[in-house]
């Protein structure tokens, strides 16, 4: 689907109602990938902070790794995933559930210490725009831990050299292998991170053993432990299908605790809370808070001066 807020529109890979957890994770033979990703995130995530934002958090699969943070914002376009997370984690001021488009983040500048995206960027057609939005939500010196699908992985290289794959894994431009599913070249991603104001600090190459044969022969925890051993050195080669990076916003500065939200319709208007909604002082848009979920997808009232 295509989302339009203000004047820009972007295609969105819509997970609403897709039962992502049941369909993709539960009993689907991906325990190895889950463990390998957790190992990488544990190594890269700054262990403590006031506020962490996970963009494209889905049903909150990785939330147990955020124990060192005072407040965790789970943001996703799909409300169905957020509702699953809310059922498991409950309602409290520690967890905020935010339905929004990552191209129009409803967060005021410098309000997060850390942002995480895992298994999300491969659905993002305009990564430079997404990175700029994420950089703006981070305080100077804040960290962005991201995962992306690597087009220059060993399997793609072998298939290309054997003539079984037409596209080159060495070409730097993103490759869209299915609608709104992209693989990225590490050099391209590094360049775009720098352009968005990040400095790359550390990386992990992840899921080296993502092959049915390995997964059949070796128990998932053992395979993930082996992967963990080579994730660090593998980051020099980047031949695995998944790459994790920790990047830091250049500079240093304080976190802005409040106000947290701003209006995504006019890109920054201050919001006033009224019962069950937020209203924008600038454009007049009204955003619902329904059943504990801040809903910034479609305004209850659109507002008079979008992009004012
Ligand atoms: C493959 S799932 C990954 C979920 C979670 N990060 C995980 O690893 O379990 C991709 C998630 O990105 C979300 N997503 C995709 N495009 C988005 C957008 N434009 N804005 C916000 N969320 C988006 C989807 O709704 C979905 O929940
Ligand atoms: Zn507004």
Residuewise pLDDT in 10s, the chain (308 residues)? 766 665 567 999 999 999 999 999 999 999 999 999 999 999 999 999 999 999 999 999 999 999 999 999 999 999 999 999 999 999 999 999 999 999 999 999 999 999 999 999 999 999 999 999 999 999 999 999 999 999 999 999 999 999 999 999 999 999 999 999 999 999 999 999 999 999 999 999 999 999 999 999 999 999 999 999 999 999 999 999 999 999 999 999 999 999 999 999 998 899 999 999 999 999 999 999 999 999 999 999 998 754 44
Q: Is residue 270, in this structure, part of any structural domain at all?
A: yes
Atom 3 in ligand 1: which residue has the minimum CA distance? 119
Q: Is residue 108, in this structure, part of any structural domain at all?
A: yes
CA-wise closest residue to 238 among 174, 185, 172, 281: 185
Rounded Cα–Cα distance for residues 8 and 302 (Å): 15
Q: Is residue 241, in this structure, part of any structural domain at all?
A: yes
Query: Which ligand 1 atom lies nearest to the CA of residue 24?
Result: 1
Q: How far is CA 218 from the centre of its chain?
A: 30
Domain range for 151 is 2-295
Q: Is residue 249, in this structure, part of any structural domain at all?
A: yes
Q: Are strands 138-149 and 242-249 parallel, antiparallel or unpaired?
A: antiparallel
Q: Is residue 307, in this structure, part of any structural domain at all?
A: no
Query: Which ligand 1 atom lies nearest to the CA of residue 54?
Result: 6
Q: Is residue 308, in this structure, part of any structural domain at all?
A: no
Residues with CB under 6 A from ligand 1: 12-13, 15, 20, 56-58, 61, 76-78, 81, 101-103, 118-120, 123
Domain count within the chain: 1
Shortest-distance ligand to the CA of residue 20? 1
Residue burial 36-57, b: 16+ Cβ < 10 Å; e: rest? bbbbbbebbbeeebebbbbbbb
Q: Which residues contact 69 (CB under 8 A, 6 or more apart)?
A: 48, 49, 50, 51, 52, 113, 114
Q: CATH number for the domain including 90?
A: 3.40.50.150
Q: Is residue 164, in this structure, part of any structural domain at all?
A: yes
CA-wise closest residue to 96 among 85, 110, 111: 85
Q: Is residue 302, in this structure, part of any structural domain at all?
A: no
User: Hey, which of 4, 15, 127 would you mutate to test ligand 1's pocket, going by the most ligand atoms within 8 Å of its Cβ?
Assistant: 15
**Centroid of ligand 1 to alpha carbon of 258 (angstroms):** 26
């Amino acid at each position: 689907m295509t989302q339009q807020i203000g004047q820009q529109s972007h295609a969105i890979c819509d997970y609403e109602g897709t039962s992502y957890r049941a369909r993709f994770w539960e009993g689907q033979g991906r325990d190895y990938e889950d463990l390998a990703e957790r190992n990488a995130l544990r190594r890269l995530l700054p262990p403590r902070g006031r506020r962490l934002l996970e963009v494209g958090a889905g049903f909150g699969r990785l939330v147990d790794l955020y124990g060192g943070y005072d407040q965790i914002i789970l943001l996703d376009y799909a409300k169905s995933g957020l509702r699953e997370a809310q059922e498991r984690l409950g309602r409290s001021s520690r967890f905020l559930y935010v339905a929004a488009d990552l191209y129009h983040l409803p967060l005021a500048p410098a309000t997060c210490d850390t942002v995480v995206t895992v298994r999300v960027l491969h659905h993002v057609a305009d990564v430079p725009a997404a990175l700029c939005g994420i950089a703006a939500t981070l305080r100077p010196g804040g960290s962005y831990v991201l995962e992306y699908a690597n087009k220059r992985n060993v399997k793609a290289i072998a298939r290309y050299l054997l003539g079984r794959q037409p596209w080159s894994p060495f070409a730097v431009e993103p490759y869209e292998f299915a609608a709104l599913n992209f693989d990225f070249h590490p050099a391209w991603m590094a360049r775009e991170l720098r352009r968005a104001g990040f400095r790359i600090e550390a990386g992990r190459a992840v899921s080296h053993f993502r092959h049915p044969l390995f997964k059949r022969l070796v128990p998932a925890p053992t395979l993930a432990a082996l992967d963990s051993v080579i994730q660090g050195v593998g980051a020099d080669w980047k031949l695995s299908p998944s790459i994790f990076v920790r990047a830091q916003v250049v500079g240093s500065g304080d976190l802005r605790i409040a106000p947290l939200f701003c209006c995504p319709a006019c890109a920054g208007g201050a919001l006033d809370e009224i019962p069950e909604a937020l209203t924008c002082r600038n454009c007049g848009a009204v955003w619902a808070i329904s059943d504990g979920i801040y809903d910034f997808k479609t305004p209850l009232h659109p507002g008079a001066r979008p992009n004012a």
